[in-house]
A and B are shown apart, each in its own frame.
Chain A
């Protein structure tokens, strides 16, 4: 095996270990509510880091991220709910750490991500050819289309006889409509969330510090110049977009199977997309650790500021505006938390930001 593959594997194994520790030790220690918060943080990290790939690295403005999340969630739900019925005759959760139910769940997450990625390709292909602003509108419109289409669907089928009789087409369209896809088994645990978090962060990191990443950043800085240097900007933009959609789909799948959340078309609209954008902007467009940091802060802040609930969005909006005027690069800009230039030792040799 080559060096890079070995290095990657080591990192992934380490992350899986950490995720296991988190799930097995820390969550029981802090209690179920804090455990739920940890899971929410993990999902928001995946969303924020994946959006950074599009908004941060390539400088394209996508406001439809929640739409991909919805697609991933619904597809994964179809597999773990109806798929489980066809595989072993029940839609209930199959307990156990490595049970076939969990296996199906992981497969469902990945498939959800792939379908979201495919949709990302379909959406990105026409719109990324055009100027950046158009992508914003198209993605916003796409998110709305997803919402409208999902609202038209029929109720979830609960009874066993109906499940047996239903055709494939019926099943695919019985995802709950406006009420949402209820009844999904609660497979999401801190372990799986953080395994996927690790995957997202590692992929983002490897991407950023590779020739691909440099090309992305070139596109972000000056698209015409990048094109003139021979970079196929459209292709690369599409790739970033598709990758981001993949991870958003996974986050959606995790969201769908979490306890206490319902997959609901109304709530996965542009307001959710805005929430993710705020995280990316706050953390620094193009900074992975920045996105992680912002995701953590912005998931915990509503809980902490519960009594401020009425003013929360006003505060967010003001922070957003002030950030853009005073510190448009966000908390960390393009830098990462671990970069040398932050620490006082190397004061003499700092690279200008």
Chain B
């Protein structure tokens, strides 16, 4: 027994030293980029870091963003890179956890010495990574975090998407003007800051436009039973229900709402955007409206071209996360091209000065808070596919 104990100590001590060594000196070990142009580090390469939820419950978000980023990178490298240097993307998975996001960001900046960060999609993860980026003065571009706090962290952080106050306004205006609704009920995910924030923004805008909120109910993401909340909402006879949650729950919610005899239209935000929504929600989600960053059915040649190229590489239609990832990468490359140098301050300044960049999600101009000022689209689920209804611009 004693011998085996000593063996175990010896083995764990060896493991320990090996682990220490690996962790302290590794640079690109563990990089998870299946489609990356892996080039040897040298003077001819610009390293860009990406962190996202490649596994975990919101894995489709991270994977789509990653695909968008890789498409943009491969295209840029095919054109010879930026300023004659090729772009290398180093990508880490944060498993949907903010601690991992912080660690991934730290590792990318201090170990892999990237010049900029791309990520994250979920706001809480962007905040974790963003604080690290700001601390180390490395610019970060978030493809799709809509919570306003993200860019408030500091001048290094920017985003290519709109923010929730605008998104709330968009859906409120749509509900009020297009659907002519006076009374709307709210049903949000209290475990997701995104959902709560968007709910608050919608409420503020809708009330300002003269509407009334008939009921405000909450669920916890992953809950299956919404009968209590929906029954209460049903009693208040709203003309529409705003559900700013993630697609993972909205499908279920729609099913239960219909079962309880609630027939009014359902409204939502960009968290609805996923092929899985129609799969889970089926008929129940038919006719639902949600705000989004772009529409895959947009007939403009730029978007259609992008959809074609994306399909050729990844055999799937690009959702808004992919499109935003693509635009974020493109914005970064454009800024690298314009920047005086690759130092944090210069690059961040170049990013902040982005004006009228023709992205697939619209014309991107960054405002004083480094948020993108562009219109949002409102889509409707028709026959299981999101179809374009209208576009609402910032006022």
Q: Give A residues with C-beta under 8 Å from B.
A: 30-34, 36-37, 40, 148, 151-152, 158, 176-180, 182, 186, 259-262, 264, 266-267, 293, 296-297, 300-301, 303-304, 306-307, 309-310, 327, 331-333, 337, 341-342, 350, 353
Contact = CB atoms under 8 A, between A and B. Distances in A.
Given A259-B132, A300-B23, A310 B192 contact: no
Contact of B124 (A36, A37, A180): A180
Nearest to B192: A178
A262 B98 contact: yes
A33 B110 contact: yes
A158 B95 contact: no
A306 B99 CA distance: 14
B127 interface: yes
Contact of B55 (A297, A301, A309, A337): A309
Interface stretch (B2-10, B205-213, B244-252, B355-363): B2-10
Nearest to B13: A293
B276 interface: no
A158 B150 CA distance: 13
A109 B243 CA distance: 40
Contacts of B20: 300
A306 to B, nearest CB: 3
B102 A262 contact: yes
A270 B220 CA distance: 16
Interface stretch (B24-32, B170-178, B259-267, B322-330): B24-32
Interface in B118-155: 123-124, 127-129, 131-132, 135-136, 147, 149, 152
A297 B15 contact: yes
B12 interface: yes
Closest A-B pairs by Cβ, 10 of them: A260-B102, A306-B30, A179-B193, A300-B19, A32-B110, A33-B110, A34-B24, A178-B193, A262-B98, A304-B19
Nearest to A308: B30
B273 interface: no
Contact of B135 (A177, A259, A306, A332): A259
A36 B109 CA distance: 12
Given A182-B131, A296-B16, 12 more contacts: A33-B106, A33-B110, A178-B191, A179-B127, A182-B127, A186-B135, A260-B103, A260-B105, A297-B16, A303-B30, A307-B30, A342-B6
Contacts of A267: 97-99
B124 A179 contact: yes
Nearest to A337: B9
Contact of B106 (A36, A151, A293): A36
B107 A33 contact: yes
B92 interface: yes
A304 B18 contact: yes
B334 interface: no
B196 interface: yes
B124 to A, nearest CB: 5
Contacts of B106: 32-33, 36, 259-260
B18 to A, nearest CB: 7
Contacts of A186: 135
B182 interface: no
24 contacts: A33-B106, A33-B111, A36-B103, A40-B103, A176-B193, A178-B191, A179-B149, A179-B193, A180-B124, A182-B127, A259-B131, A260-B99, A260-B131, A262-B102, A262-B127, A267-B99, A297-B12, A300-B16, A303-B103, A307-B30, A331-B5, A341-B2, A342-B5, A342-B6
Contacts of A341: 2
